């Protein structure tokens, strides 16, 4: 059997290496340079980010300071103030500090601060000062959005109040609110119009604050603790209430009687500060026996008058069948026009209203604190009653 020369002597395999690609050659040649370029690029991005971050931080600090100066920062922590108008916020801002901030503010903020200074002056009824600031704003920033005329200048549009007989919206399809028409012009022009309207406004007679007659009888109450005293001047507008109240005062009726209810605003309501006293059951130390449902023994006919519940108004507690209590009364410490016509006003606090304000801030139970009304935790009593004529 003969051997197969082909299978006995296989052809040698030719082995070799693959040549490097152009990319590999490029990388080997310029690797160091490319690494340097990448490091420089990342470094530049880092520096750019740091610069932007620092600039944003500075801008945030600047505008946060601006918001605090304008009194707008309160809305950050108290949601109930989120819907307050700028005028409501500026009412609690120091006018001098506002003016000082406007003097040193950058041009991006100065026009708005000047407008706020003018608004604050309007709230203080300083018409000439407000006009002077508006002229300054116009002179220094003639092309600013607050100064230039337009068909829709910077302003807030009020809602159109729905009529009582308006159809109710379809469930699941709320009705879109309707706004009052836009007033063309400029923000500065609108403020100027408001100044003129305010200067010419005359308070209706029924809303004018009462001038207490010089010969009005007065009743002075001393309170327990450190709550001081307050004095009520009686008015001729409700003669039946005045005379009955004065008779009780001369007899010292309220001595040892305690304030049985205080009311004040909460986070969710704007209830005015007010207090009530007159229930004889509060003379006792056992507060569980205080009753506020017993009918009064000192009733007078309801007397209508045109007096309004300005701060300090003293009004009789209502009783059934068109009667008022001469012995039980409310004192409002804040303006409370919502009670006009509901209660008979027969006097005004002429001294010590600040003491009554402190009494309205006395502690209550946690539940009553949330409701904004209840009995003071401590018994605040009338220690003496004196008629001053």
Over residues 319-342, the pLDDT tens digits come to: 989 999 999 999 999 999 999 999
DSSP codes joined into one string, 11-59:
PPPP---PPPPHHHHHHHHHHHHHHHHHHHHHHHHHHHHHHHHHHHHHH
| Number of neighbours of residue 53 by Cβ within 10 angstroms | 10
Query: How high is the mean pLDDT of the chain?
Result: 86
Residues 69-97: tens digit of each pLDDT: 777 776 666 666 666 777 778 887 888 88
What value does the mean pLDDT take over residues 19-37?
75
| Percent of the chain whose predicted confidence (pLDDT) is above 90 | 52
Q: How far apart are CA 102 and CA 388, in angstroms?
A: 51
Q: What number is the average pLDDT over the span 310-323?
A: 95
The residue among 369 and 62 whose pLDDT is bigger is 369
Count CB-CB contacts under 10 A for residue 99.
17
Mean pLDDT of 356-363: 96
The per-type count for the chain, helices as H runs and strands as E runs, is 11, 10
Region 207-232 average pLDDT: 92
Identify the residue whose tokens are 């801030």.
361
Q: For the CA atoms of 152, 133, 70, 86, what is the dihedral angle to 10 degrees?
A: -40
Give the whole-angstrom CA distance, residue 204 versus residue 304: 18
155 φψ region: left (φ > 0), alpha (ψ -120 to 50), beta (else): beta
| pLDDT of 14 | 54
Max mean pLDDT among 22-36, 70-84, 208-222 falls in 208-222
Q: Could you tell me the pTM of the whole model?
A: 0.57
Helices 127-140 and 110-123 cross at an angle (nearest 10°) of 170
Q: What percent of the chain shows pLDDT beyond 70?
A: 88
User: Is the predicted pLDDT of residue 248 greater than 60, yes or no?
Assistant: yes
Q: What is the pLDDT of residue 184?
A: 87
Which range among 11-15, 92-96, 231-235, 271-275 shows the weakest confidence by mean pLDDT?
11-15
- What are residue 293's phi and psi, to 5 degrees? -120, -10
Q: In which band, very low, low, confident or very high, does the pLDDT at 301 lie, cut at 50, 70 and 90?
A: very high
Mean pLDDT of 134-138: 95
Locus of tokens 């519940």 = 309
> For position 40, what pLDDT does the model report?
80
Which string of DSSP letters, residue by residue, matches 314-343?
A: EEEEEETTTEEEEEEEEEESS--GGGBTTB
Six token digits for residue 21: 């690609």
**DSSP, residue by residue, 202-233:** ---GGGSPPPPPTT--EEEEEESTT--EEEEE
276 by DSSP, 3-state: which?
A: strand
pLDDT in tens, 163-197: 766 677 677 777 777 888 888 899 999 999 999 99
Residue for token pair 């017993």: 294
The continuous run of DSSP H or E covering 102 comes out as helix 95-104
Point out the least confidently predicted range of 7-16, 150-159, 166-175, 208-217: 7-16
Higher pLDDT, 11 or 313: 313
- Residue 228 zone, left/alpha/beta (φ > 0; ψ -120 to 50; rest): left
Predicted local distance difference test score (pLDDT) of residue 5: 52
Q: Rounded distance, CA 254 to CA 75, Å?
A: 44
Model pLDDT, residue 1: 47
Q: Token match 């040193």: residue?
A: 104
Eight-state DSSP code of residue 151:
S
pLDDT given for residue 165 in this prediction? 66
Query: Rounded distance, CA 277 to CA 292, Å?
Result: 10
Q: Does the pLDDT of residue 4 top 70, yes or no? A: no
CATH architecture observed for domain 218-388 = Beta Barrel (2.40)
pLDDT at residue 138 is higher than 90: yes
């Amino acid at each position: 059997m003969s051997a197969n020369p082909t299978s006995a002597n296989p052809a040698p395999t030719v082995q070799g290496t693959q040549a490097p690609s152009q990319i590999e050659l490029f990388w080997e040649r310029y690797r160091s340079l490319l690494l340097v370029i990448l490091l420089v690029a990342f470094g530049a991005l880092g520096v750019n980010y740091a610069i932007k971050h620092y600039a944003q931080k500075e801008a945030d600090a600047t505008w946060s300071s601006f918001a605090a100066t304008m009194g707008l920062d309160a809305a950050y922590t108290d949601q109930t103030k989120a819907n307050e108008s700028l005028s409501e916020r500026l009412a609690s801002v120091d006018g001098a500090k506002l003016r000082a901030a406007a003097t040193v503010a950058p041009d991006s903020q100065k026009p708005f601060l000047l407008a706020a200074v003018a608004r604050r002056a309007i709230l203080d009824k300083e018409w000439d000062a407000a006009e002077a600031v508006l002229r300054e704003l116009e002179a220094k920033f003639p092309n600013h959005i607050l100064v230039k005329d337009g068909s829709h200048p910077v302003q807030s549009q009020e809602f159109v109040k729905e009529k009582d007989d308006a159809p109710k919206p379809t469930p699941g399809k709320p009705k879109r609110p309707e706004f009052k028409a836009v007033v063309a012009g400029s923000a500065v022009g609108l403020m100027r119009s408001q100044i003129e309207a305010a200067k010419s406004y005359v308070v209706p007679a029924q809303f004018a604050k009462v001038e207490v007659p010089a010969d009005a009888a007065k009743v002075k109450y001393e309170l327990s603790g450190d709550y001081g005293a307050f004095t009520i001047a009686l008015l001729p507008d409700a003669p039946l209430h005045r005379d009955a109240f004065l008779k009780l005062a001369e007899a010292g009726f309220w001595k040892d009687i305690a304030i049985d209810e205080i009311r004040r605003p909460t986070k969710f309501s704007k209830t005015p500060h007010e207090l009530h006293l007159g229930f004889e059951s509060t003379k006792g130390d056992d507060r569980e026996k205080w009753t506020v449902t017993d009918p009064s023994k000192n009733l007078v006919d309801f007397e209508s008058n045109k007096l309004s519940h300005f701060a300090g108004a003293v009004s009789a507690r209502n009783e059934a069948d068109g009667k008022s209590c001469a012995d039980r009364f409310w004192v409002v410490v804040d303006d409370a026009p919502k009670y006009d016509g509901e209660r008979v006003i027969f006097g005004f606090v002429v001294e010590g209203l600040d003491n009554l304000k402190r009494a309205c801030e006395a502690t209550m139970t946690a539940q009553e604190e949330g409701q904004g009304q209840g009995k003071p935790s401590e018994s605040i009593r009338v220690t003496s009653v004196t008629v001053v004529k």
